[in-house]
Amino acid sequence: MSKVSRRKFGSDFKFKVALSALKEEKTLEELSQQYEVHMSLIKKWKKHLIDTGASIFLEGSGLKTSTEDAEIKELRAKVGELTMCVDFLKKKLPS
């Protein structure tokens, strides 16, 4: 007997399907056939998009740029290095 594996869908695919469903240019059945996804999944993704879509426009929730990510990574490395130095000095210096 063969084992049936579940398909995993990426966020880009889910967004595209949910947005298509939200536009209502095609029926759920047509979208289900087009994207080869069950209608209940499309309904679930559409509901999730509607429920959480407003969070995109929250102030301060913009996407981080790669320079911000690099800066955060660099600062964390520096904090780690300084923490190690402080710990070393605490052990070696008399109190």
The residue segments making up the domain with residue 84 are: 64-95
Q: Is residue 4 part of a domain?
A: no
Stretch 65-81: mean pLDDT, rounded? 88
Q: Which of 52, 48, 46 is nearest to 27 (CA)?
A: 46
Q: Which of 63, 62, 31, 26 is nearest to 44 (CA)?
A: 31
pTM, two decimal places: 0.58
24-41 pLDDT per residue, tens: 999 999 999 999 999 999
CA 21 from centre of chain: 21
- Asked if the model's pLDDT at residue 55 lies above 90, the reply is no
The number of distinct structural domains making up the chain is: 2
13 & 45 share domain: yes
**15 close to 21: Cβ distance less than 8 angstroms:** no
Q: Which of 95, 31, 18 is nearest to 9 (CA)?
A: 18
Distance, in Å, from the CA atom of 15 to the CA atom of 13, rounded to the nearest integer, reads 5
